[in-house]
């Protein structure tokens, strides 16, 4: 039987941004879950998206991805996150931009 190691790195938008990095670097892990959404978060994301249609997602998730993308790729760690909020396509595009910048 295969053991799957899952850690929860974030419980809300604004939670400790170092926690998922510590999980990643703290030992063997297969999946890191990151929950960004709550009712108040969605209202904040909506206001952001109304001001700028390119927003509406958890922008600090992009910083996390920038910090760890080469490492998660190398170790084949999966990230499960709802950071896309009200604009998952824009969040995805930013992740792809970061990946291109990092050559990953």
- As beta bridge partners, residue 79 has 32
Q: Residue 56's pLDDT band (boundaries 50, 70, 90)?
A: very high
How many of the other CB atoms lie within 10 Å of CB of 15?
16
User: What pLDDT was estimated at residue 94?
Assistant: 98
Alpha-carbon span 58 to 12, nearest angstrom: 10
Q: Are 58 and 91 in contact (CB under 8 A)?
A: yes
User: What pLDDT was estimated at residue 31?
Assistant: 97
Alpha-carbon span 10 to 20, nearest angstrom: 7
Burial of 50 (0-12, 13-18, 19+ CB in 10 A): exposed
Is 90 exceeded by the pLDDT of residue 38? no
Q: Residue 96's pLDDT band (boundaries 50, 70, 90)?
A: very high
How many of the other CB atoms lie within 10 Å of CB of 101?
10
């Amino acid at each position: 039987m295969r053991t799957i190691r899952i850690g929860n790195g974030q419980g809300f938008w604004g939670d400790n941004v170092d926690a998922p990095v510590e999980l990643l670097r703290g030992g063997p892990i297969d999946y890191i879950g990151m929950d960004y959404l709550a009712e108040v978060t969605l209202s904040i994301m909506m206001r952001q998206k109304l001001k700028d249609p390119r927003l509406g997602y958890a922008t600090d998730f992009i910083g996390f991805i920038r910090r760890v993308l080469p490492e998660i790729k190398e170790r084949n760690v999966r990230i499960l996150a709802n950071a896309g909020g009200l604009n998952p396509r824009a969040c995805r595009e930013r992740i792809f931009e970061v990946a291109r910048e990092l050559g990953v």
